[in-house]
């Protein structure tokens, strides 16, 4: 059965562009982003890995470790990283997993046979420090993902984990956030000293708690 939100992300050992890793050991207490791409030496994937490399500092600030994956081998990955660095003006520092036997792709349901029998689709998982899956997205091969959106989701997930708030549609850093339904309004007023605006009993906003 495929993974669902809240499930524990399966551990694995893998060959990668930076050497052999154990997934859980690599993550330690960090958040993790594991994302697949269809194949090395392909144009959309080249831009995606370039954008991810550009955002490496942003991921590090958020205590997020990133891993890419395809079913190509380590030597292919290493050669292609040279092209990514050259054409996208970056230094890819995160590992690219070589899942040649497709064991990880199978465990994470990254091969959708009616899209491609052999290549992984663009799956992406955000994994919390307790190793539970917090977000999953799946894009087709022809559409590159927006990695600024991935950062935005990480920020939302970390706000929920740390402050018991949710984020409204199109929320951006600094916008007001939503008090989660599990918190009673009287408790919310005590918990959020910046104030609580009650629009409806179930729709309550508070300024972003970790922002001055
Ligand atoms: C790409 O990454 O550019 C790509 C890969 C497979 C199919 C279409 C595009």
Residue 166 Cβ < 6 Å to ligand 1: no
Closest residue (by CA) to atom 7 of ligand 1?
141
For ligand 1, is residue 141 a contact (CB within 6 Å)?
A: yes
163-206, CATH topology level: Antioxidant, Horf6; Chain A, domain 2 (3.30.1020)
Calculate how far, in angstroms, residue 81's C-alpha sits from the geometric centre of ligand 1: 16
What spacing in Å lies between the alpha carbon of 19 and ligand 1's midpoint? 26
* Half-sphere exposure in the Cβ direction for 103 (13 Å, CA): 9
Tokens (6 digits) for 61: 């600030």
Residues of the chain with CATH 3.30.1020.10: 163-206
6 lines ligand 1 (CB under 6 A): no
pLDDT in tens, the chain (212 residues): 689 999 999 999 999 999 999 999 999 999 999 999 999 999 999 999 999 999 999 999 999 999 999 999 999 999 999 999 999 999 999 999 999 999 999 999 999 999 999 999 999 999 999 999 999 999 999 999 999 999 999 999 999 999 999 999 999 999 999 999 999 999 999 999 999 999 999 999 999 999 98
pLDDT in tens, 113-165: 999 999 999 999 999 999 999 999 999 999 999 999 999 999 999 999 999 99
Q: How many CB atoms lie within 10 A of CB 80?
A: 22
Cβ–ligand 1 distance for 44 under 6 Å, the answer yes
What residues does CATH 3.40.30.10 cover in the chain? 13-144
| Catalytic position from the list 45, 81, 150, 154 | 45
185 CA distance to ligand 1 centroid (A)?
A: 49
| 4 classed as catalytic | no
**CA 110 / ligand 1 centre spacing (Å):** 15
The CATH number given to 13-144 is 3.40.30.10
End-to-end CA distance of the chain: 44
Distance of alpha carbon 72 from alpha carbon 166, whole angstroms: 38
- Nearest atom in ligand 1 to the alpha carbon of residue 45 is 2
Q: Determine contact, residues 97/103, Cβ cutoff 8 Å.
A: no
- How far apart CA 95 and CA 92 sit, in angstroms, is 8
**Ligand 1 in reach of 42 Cβ (< 6 A):** yes
């Amino acid at each position: 059965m495929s993974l669902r939100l809240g499930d524990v992300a399966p551990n694995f050992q893998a060959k990668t562009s930076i050497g052999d890793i154990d997934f859980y050991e690599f993550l330690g207490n960090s958040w993790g982003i594991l994302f697949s791409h269809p194949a090395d030496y392909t144009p959309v994937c080249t831009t995606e890995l370039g954008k991810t490399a550009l955002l490496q500092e942003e991921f590090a600030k958020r205590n997020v470790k990133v891993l890419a994956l395809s079913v190509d081998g380590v030597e292919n990955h290493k050669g292609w990283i040279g092209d990514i660095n050259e054409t996208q003006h970056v230094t890819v520092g995160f590992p690219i997993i070589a899942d040649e036997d497709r064991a990880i792709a199978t465990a994470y349901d990254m091969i959708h046979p009616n899209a491609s029998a052999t290549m992984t689709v663009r799956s992406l998982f955000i994994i919390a420090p307790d190793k539970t899956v917090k977000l999953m997205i799946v894009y087709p091969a022809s559409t590159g993902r927006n990695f600024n959106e991935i950062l935005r989701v990480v920020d939302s997930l970390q706000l929920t984990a740390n402050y018991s708030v949710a984020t409204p549609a199109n929320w951006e850093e600094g916008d007001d956030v939503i008090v989660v339904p599990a918190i009673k309004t009287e408790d919310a007023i005590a918990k959020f000293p910046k104030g609580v605006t009650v629009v409806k009993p179930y729709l309550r906003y508070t300024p972003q708690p970790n922002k001055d």
